[in-house]
Amino acid sequence: MTLAETKKLPSPVGESKTRLDVIEKVTGAAVYTDDIPFGPGLLHARVKRSPHAHAKILKIDYSKAEALPGVKVVVTGEDFPKRIGLYLVDKHIFARDRVRFIGEPVAAVAAINADIAEKALDLIEVEYEPLEAVFDPVYGASPEAPLLHPDMADYDVPNYIFPQAGTNIANHFKIRKGDVERAWEQCAAVVESEFYIPHVQHVPIEPHVAVARWDDDGTLTLWAASQSPFAQRNLIAKSFGVSQSDVRVIAPLVGGGFGCKAGVTMEALPVAIASKVKGRAVKLTLTREEEFFTNFVRQALVIKLKMGCDADGNLVALKNTMYWDGGASTEYGVNITRAGGYNSTGPYFFPNVHTDSLCVYTNHPIGGAYRGFGMSELHTGIEQTIDMLAEKMGIDAVDFRLKNCVKGGDIILTGMTMHPTGLNQCIEKAAKAIEWGKEAKPSSPNKLRGKGIALMWKAPSMPPNAGSSAEVKFSEDGTVTVSLGGQEIGQGAFTVMAQMAAGVLGIPYESVRVRGPLDTRYSPYEWQTVASRLTWSMGNAVVAAAQDARDQLLDLAADHWDEEVEDLDIVNGKVISYKSEQEMSVKDIGIYGLPNENFEGWKGGPIVGRGSFMPTYVTNLDFETGQGDRAVVHYTTGAQAFDIEIDKETGRIEVLKSASAFDVGRAINPELVRAQIEGGFIQGYSSAVYEQMLLKEGAMLNPSFVDYRIATAVDIPIEHHVDIIEVPQDDGPWGARGIGEHPMVPTIAALANAIYDATGLRLEGPPFTAEKLYLAMLDAGLVE
């Protein structure tokens, strides 16, 4: 039956959409496709997942599932022997010899509709032998723990990740600066602390969805809601043994990412399934329950700190040991551990530092990129300990921070010289906004009032050679199309790139179009949309591309007018001469060029500007000491502060005032910067007060919005003050740096410090729920 001969039938699963049906010659059943671009005969996939946290797979029998009418293919790990991973290549697409977390894919079915695929899963019989599991990263790092990845020594890994074969430590990053043990003798005060920051979920509004199709010529097309289409192309090509040029990833706008749609997670599943049904597209959509624990989650952290200062309040020494709960695979998480290591002092100058940052395999869900990339967790410990030390010395917490915060020219923990930063201004602005130092009484006898502040810093956590590229083309009407490879995930990246292109070209912003969706076949290369790097890295590429196009326009006009380029400019879409006062519109020359005298031939032609950017100056860090000339490209710094009340009868927190101040280098679009700061603050507040994945022996107990609370509009503080500080970055476009992740980094710590100021209580870690606070106050005798 041809496509033209098909009939439209109502969906058998009761959906309101009318779908195209294609009569199956073998079964006589109707196949329904959701979308014509995927081709007729779209198949729907469902995944059989492990019910065990750690177990051997003894036998998989899928004969009954395979025989179910409407099922087109069943796959298992036996079909896909190669591993996949971004940093540490440690993960199979489907489990093979063993399962390592509850929810790990074991098998999958593709069928003519989702209902049949779901029924087929129940017909797959898997026999397991349970094994001892690891749920505590501290125990997991010990010699007594069972090995979860006995073959780790064979895994591929870049030269800046340091797995410890024969252990569960997937990465051990060290900082050794000065002599910490001798430095304790110089300290007038020393404090020690330990905190636990739990797993949380990204909970994007749009769950993960991907469609894959292998064609008969061996090429693959993948449609995915992705922050990383080029990384997906590369990793999938490697895992399936094909050329990257034969893999095409199409990534429309993303309905919420926050890191969970970075790298390759569930996208490899439909790719694998589709490889067994060439010519037919396979669609996989995660349920909300699957979204909670089968994909990336934010790693949990156990952080142990010892910190000391001298009699004048100068920080002297820091010992920081971090146990990151990497989960069953640490293919992405090992880099979070590395980032935790080279950020391990927080934004403070310590002459003596001893850091051990350990990424530990456990039988929890897979830890991956999450907004802040480990910095919220790290700063939750650092900033509370800073407050503890200041209190022990009898020094005001703001004054203590102003005295010790990192400043331009400091030699920081890795041996790198800190670039200019406006952190001091951030501290002062945030403190002023909540009237720090001014006594504030509770609004009623049954409430306690407190103020807290916390600082942050964060560098883009990326390989030393992560690159960006861009292209600028003119249309006949003078409009400009910018092609790029970075993704729009709601942060306004496309808006800012259009502004940058317009600014360089001298044309109105309204004349710029940013091309989408991203398509690795046509879009210029971009490493990933992560690490708050697009404004800086992709921005530099767009500026270079626009400058290339501008130079071509001006060279052409100078030749045509027989003038010097230095005398020309482009203003509001017109090339003008300050010397001869001639002018012409860019739309007259952007495509067709200009005629020679008497129209004896033409010069110019379609203007296409190309630009790329890659930092060339990031150096390796020594394995034993973590020292090197330049560990990162730059740091974004900032501060947040709270003025709160706590109801003694309920434990509920009310935010009276809150404030954020961040040094963004240069705010290309101040309103978007403000929106990022406000949104990041709310997400940080959500993780501070509400969010926690409740895990019991590897099983998530609250995988729904009924039991997993996130902040909503009703939780937004009535007053949130924002200050934008601008100390330009030397290698940023117009001095700009990123600000996407940073606003949620200090929130937990700032709120914890305010809670302590109000109650005198330090909790082990977030979330600071009303119930937890009430019970803590009850135990402390603060309430009757």
By C-alpha distance, which of 548, 578, 549 is closest to 563? 578
Segment holding 379, helix H or strand E: helix 375-393
CA 224 to each of CA 48, 529, 689: distance values in angstroms, whole numbers, following the listed order: 21, 14, 32
* Token pair of 290 as six digits: 């699957």
The answer to whether 258 and 274 are in contact (CB under 8 A) is no
Please give the single-letter amino acid code of residue 420.
P
CA 766 to each of CA 26, 123, 680, 771: distance values in angstroms, whole numbers, following the listed order: 56, 42, 17, 12
Gap between the Cα atoms of 131 and 53, Å rounded: 8
| 137 prior amide bond cis, ω within 30 | no
Residues 550-562 as b or e (16 or more Cβ within 10 Å = b): bebbbebbbebbe
Residue 385 phi, psi (nearest 5): -70, -35
User: What residue spans of 636-712 are helical by DSSP H?
Assistant: 670-689
The answer to whether 613 and 597 are in contact (CB under 8 A) is no
Gap between the Cα atoms of 369 and 333, Å rounded: 7
- Quickly tell me which residue has 């509920």 as its tokens: 652
CA 207 to each of CA 102, 117, 211, 229: distance values in angstroms, whole numbers, following the listed order: 19, 19, 13, 17
Q: Is 57 helix (H, G, I), strand (E, B) or coil?
A: strand
- Rounded to the nearest 10 degrees, how much is the dihedral formed by the CA atoms of 220, 226, 227, 232? -30
In the 8-state DSSP scheme, what is residue 424? Answer: H
Question: Which residues touch 691 (CB under 8 Å, ≥6 apart)?
Answer: 200, 201, 708, 709, 710, 766, 767
Residue 125 phi, psi (nearest 5): -105, 125
Gap between the Cα atoms of 376 and 725, Å rounded: 21
Q: Which of 719, 726, 741, 764 is catalytic?
A: 741
Residues 515-546 as b or e (16 or more Cβ within 10 Å = b): beebbbeebbbbbbbbbbbbbbbbbbbbbbbb
Q: How many CA atoms lie within 13 A of 70 on its CB side?
A: 20
Please give the single-letter amino acid code of residue 552.
Q
By C-alpha distance, which of 366, 347, 422 is closest to 665? 422
Q: How many CA atoms lie within 13 A of 552 on its CB side?
A: 22
Q: Is 343 helix (H, G, I), strand (E, B) or coil?
A: coil
Residue 91 phi, psi (nearest 5): -125, 135
Distance, CA of 778 to chain centre:
38
The packing angle between helices 747-759 and 770-779, to 10°, is: 30
N-term to C-term CA, the chain:
78
Asked about 741 being catalytic, the answer comes back as: yes
CA 682 to each of CA 177, 534, 772: distance values in angstroms, whole numbers, following the listed order: 36, 22, 20
Question: Which residues touch 219 (CB under 8 Å, ≥6 apart)?
Answer: 246, 247, 248
* Token pair of 605 as six digits: 């032609």
Gap between the Cα atoms of 191 and 705, Å rounded: 39
* Token pair of 509 as six digits: 């912003």
In the 8-state DSSP scheme, what is residue 200? Answer: B
Segment holding 390, helix H or strand E: helix 375-393
Beta strand residue intervals within 112-154, DSSP E: 125-130
β-bridge partners, 563: none
Catalytic residues: 741
